[in-house]
Amino acid sequence: MDPVNWDAAKFAVDAVQFVFTLAVAIWVGIRTGQDKNRAAIDAMDQRQDELEKRIITAEEHLKHAPTHEDIAKVREEISGMQSALNTNTQMVQRIHDYLLNKD
């Protein structure tokens, strides 16, 4: 039997251990990057969900908001009420003048 070259065997074991350690370090680095990316993606998903809820809420409120036609109708009604109020003001002014000049 040939004598075993322990220096060569130790070198081979050291080389395998180095390659294994390097592979584990690379795998851990990749895995850590994936975890960070996953956390960033989850945060973006959560933010997107919050924005979607805000948009839905805003759309629901806008469904009940007055349209341009509704605002035009209200302006017409206010204009009509203002003319009636002007007429009443003139009438009250006449009564006031009459009562002041009655004597």
The C-alpha atoms of residue 59 and residue 100 are separated, in whole angstroms, by 59
3-state secondary structure of 64: coil
3-state secondary structure of 102: coil
What is the pTM (predicted TM-score) of this model?
0.47
Each residue's pLDDT tens digit in the chain (103 positions)?
578 788 888 999 999 999 999 999 999 988 988 888 999 999 999 999 999 999 999 999 999 899 999 999 999 999 989 988 988 999 999 999 998 888 6
Q: What is the pLDDT of residue 33?
A: 86
Give the start-to-end residue ranges of the domains of the chain.
Answer: 1-65, 66-103
